[in-house]
Every structure is written in C-alpha cells, then in structure tokens.
C-alpha cells in the first residue's frame, strides 16, 4: 500500500525528537510539505540540516498566546499530528500542582489549541483534513506513578471523539494513536529500569515494546486517504497490551 501526500501541507508538533521527528521526516518522504513545531531551537536546527525543505517553528506549546502568535501565519494545513507531550512521573499522593499543570498544559491544552488553529483554517477553506492525536495506552489502563499522565491521555482520547463529532461534517477526520512504550527519550525516562521493563513487556502479547517506525506507520495511515472512513477511533499500537 503506497501512501502519497504530494501537494499536502502537514504540521507536526514535538518534531524535535522521537516519534514527532521521525513522523516529520516520513511525511517529507511521502511528498508532504512539512511544518515542524517544537520548543528547542537546537533540535530544529539539526532537523532542517537533515531535511532542508522542512519549515521550522520554535514555540513552547504550553504557552497559549505564544502558540497563537507562532502559528498565525503558517498558511494552510491539511494534516496535523498533535504529538508534543510530556510524561512526568509521581506517585498519586505526591502529585504537585506544578506537575499537574505542566502535563495538562502540553498534553491536553496545547493539543486542543493547535487543533483549533489548524481546523479553523480547514473549515474556512472547505478542504477537509486529517488530524492525529498521539495519545498512549496509558489513556486506557492505570500505570503506577503515572496518575497525571494517564489522566491527560484519557482526556486527549475524549477530545479526539468530540473533535471527530464536531469536525466530521467539515470532512475533517480526527483519530488517536495509542502506543505502548517506545524507547525514545521519554520512553527511556520511564522504562529503562530492566525490572520495570520486564514487567511491562510480560503484559504485551507480542513480548516487546514498539519501535518508533511502528507508531509512524500507523500515524501515516490515519493521516492518509487509505483511512478515509475512519473517524474518532482510539487505535492501539501496543502489541496487544490493551486487549488483555
Ligand atoms: P520525546 O520526549 O522523545 O519527544 C517529545 C517532543 O515533544 C520533543 O521534541 C519535545 O521538545 C516536544 N515538546 C514537549 N513539550 C513541548 C512543548 N511544551 N512545546 C513544544 N514542544 C514540546 O517523546 P516521544 O517521541 O516518546 O513522545 C511523543 C508522543 O508520544 C508524546 O505525546 C507521548 O506522550 C506519546 N507516547 C510516547 C510513548 C513512549 O513510550 N515514548 C508511549 C506512548 C505515547 P523538548 O525535548 O524540547 O521538550
């Protein structure tokens, strides 16, 4: 199955590292014009060096007004990957206000705001579009020390469904992708301890964590017309973790 995004413009958040960076590069390979958004300029510098056609935007997406300013003049966007995320860990009884706000501000509020900006343009142009929210298996299953992260991803899944409901009539599809652990910088922070990793893997029927490419391929499918009738789904990329 060949996927082409020739003639389409795509915006990827959190494109400096990990899943977002790989998604941005894969979209370029499929012919899309890509806008890469993240908050560390050095990551954007190396990304543009690797792929000069990428349009970089440096902004902290947890800052509502700065996001508005940064994305005001990006032009039409057909495809959005709401990928930027933060995954701090604290036992429930130790959760702080700072950690709660930090996690919700990027994982939920930031995703909502970027999608609003992009979807308003899609609606105005009447051109439709596809949005993928990068959620997690943590949205559906309790994970120790991940109270706030789990709550943000649960909120993001519900946001996906309401967006699908309200934006569907404008031919804008919205879906969630829900990976298991991927050994990116974020994955390593949470799952480098071999005992912890072993326990998690023992609950994944395929017996392994996901690779970045596993997630990227599913994102590309949901962005593409190959999934033209798929709207409002929560798609696990989890080796079967959520099935059992
Ligand atoms: P990484 O930490 O490797 O990359 C996250 C990217 O998002 C970084 O470029 C980071 O920039 C950027 N980012 C974070 N906060 C902000 C912000 N406030 N404004 C702008 N950019 C920001 O994470 P992953 O690639 O692993 O994760 C990507 C997504 O996948 C996240 O939503 C995560 O929750 C989800 N996910 C990850 C899993 C995993 O095991 N890795 C499993 C399931 C879901 P900077 O480094 O400068 O902060």
- Domain extent, residue 97, equals 9-234
Which of 109, 149, 198, 226 is labelled catalytic? 149
How would you class 214 by CB atoms within 10 Å of its CB: exposed for 0-12, middle for 13-18, buried for 19 or more?
middle
C-beta 38 within 6 A of ligand 1: yes
pLDDT band at residue 125 using 50, 70 and 90 as cut-offs: very high
Instruction: Give the residue, by CA position, lying nearest to ligand 1 atom 40.
Output: 181
Active-site residue 196, yes or no?
A: no
Residue 11, H or E segment: strand 9-13
180 pLDDT exceeds 90? yes
Judge if the beta carbon of residue 152 lies within 6 A of ligand 1: no
pLDDT tens across 126-159, in order? 999 999 999 999 999 999 999 999 999 999 999 9
Residue 78 resides in a domain: yes
Q: To which residue do tokens 């298996």 refer?
A: 137
In a domain, 240, yes or no: no
pLDDT for res 88: 87
Residues 6+ apart with CB under 8 A from 18: 182, 184, 185, 186, 187, 212
Report the number of distinct structural domains present in the chain: 1
| Residue bearing the CA closest to ligand 1, atom 36 | 136
Q: Does 104 reside within a domain?
A: yes
Q: Is residue 52 part of a domain?
A: yes
Identify the pLDDT of residue 1: 76
Q: Is residue 137 part of a domain?
A: yes
Kindly tell me if the per-residue pLDDT of 6 is higher than 80.
yes
Q: What is the average per-residue pLDDT within 72-100?
A: 97
pLDDT of 211-242, one tens digit each?
999 999 999 999 999 999 999 999 999 999 99
Burial class (CB in 10 A: 0-12, 13-18, 19+), 197: middle
CATH of the domain at 82: 3.40.50.720
Average of per-residue pLDDT across 194-198: 96
- To test ligand 1's pocket by mutation, which of 106, 186, 213 has the most ligand atoms within 8 angstroms of CB? 186
Residues 86, 38 contacting (CB under 8 angstroms) = no
- Measured in angstroms, how far is the CA atom of residue 186 from the centroid of ligand 1? 6
In the block, residue with structure tokens 């299953």? 141
Residue 145: per-residue pLDDT: 95
User: Among the atoms of ligand 1, which is closest to the Cα of residue 107?
Assistant: 32
Tell me whether residue 63 is in a domain.
yes
Report the alpha-carbon distance of residue 47 to residue 107 in Å, rounded: 23
Catalytic residue among 86, 153, 161, 196: 153
pLDDT given for residue 210 in this prediction: 98
Q: Is residue 239 part of a domain?
A: no
Residues 57, 35: contact at Cβ < 8 Å? Answer: yes
* Mean pLDDT for the chain overall: 97
**pLDDT for the residue 8:** 98
Mean per-residue pLDDT, 106-122: 98
Q: Which atom of ligand 1 is nearest to the CA of 106?
A: 18
Is 181 near ligand 1, meaning CB less than 6 Å away?
A: yes
Tens digits of per-residue pLDDT, 21-66? 999 999 999 999 999 999 999 999 999 999 999 999 999 999 999 9
Among 14, 177, 236, the mutation site with the greatest number of ligand 1 atoms within 8 A of its Cβ is 14
- Does residue 110 form part of some domain? yes
The response to whether residue 241 sits with its C-beta less than 6 Å from ligand 1 reads no
Active site residue 86: no
Distance from Cα 224 to the centre of ligand 1, integer Å: 22
Which atom of ligand 1 is nearest the CA belonging to 19? 25
Integer angstrom CA distances of residue 145 from 116, 137, 189: 31, 15, 13
């Amino acid at each position: 199955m060949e996927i082409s995004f020739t003639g389409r413009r795509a915006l990827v958040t959190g494109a400096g590292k990990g899943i977002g960076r790989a998604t941005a590069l894969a979209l370029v390979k499929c012919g899309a014009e890509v806008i890469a958004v993240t908050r560390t300029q050095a990551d954007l510098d190396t990304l543009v060096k690797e792929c000069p056609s990428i349009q970089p935007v440096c902004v902290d997406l947890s800052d509502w007004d700065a996001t508005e300013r940064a994305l005001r003049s990006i032009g039409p966007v057909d495809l959005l990957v709401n990928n930027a995320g933060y995954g701090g860990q604290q036992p429930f009884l130790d959760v702080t206000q700072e950690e709660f706000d930090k996690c919700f501000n990027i994982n939920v509020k930031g995703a909502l705001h970027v999608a609003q900006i992009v979807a308003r343009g899609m609606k105005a142009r009447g051109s439709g579009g596809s949005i993928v929210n990068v959620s997690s298996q943590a949205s559906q299953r309790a994970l120790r020390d991940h109270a706030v992260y789990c709550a943000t991803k649960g909120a993001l899944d519900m946001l996906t469904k309401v967006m699908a409901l309200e934006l569907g009539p404008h031919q804008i599809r919205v879906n969630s992708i829900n990976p298991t652990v991927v050994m990116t910088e974020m994955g390593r922070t949470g799952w480098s301890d071999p005992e912890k990793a072993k326990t998690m893997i023992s609950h994944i029927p395929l017996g392994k964590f996901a690779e970045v490419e596993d997630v990227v391929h599913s994102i590309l499918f949901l962005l593409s017309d190959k999934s033209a009738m798929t709207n409002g789904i929560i798609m696990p990329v989890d080796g079967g973790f959520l099935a059992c």
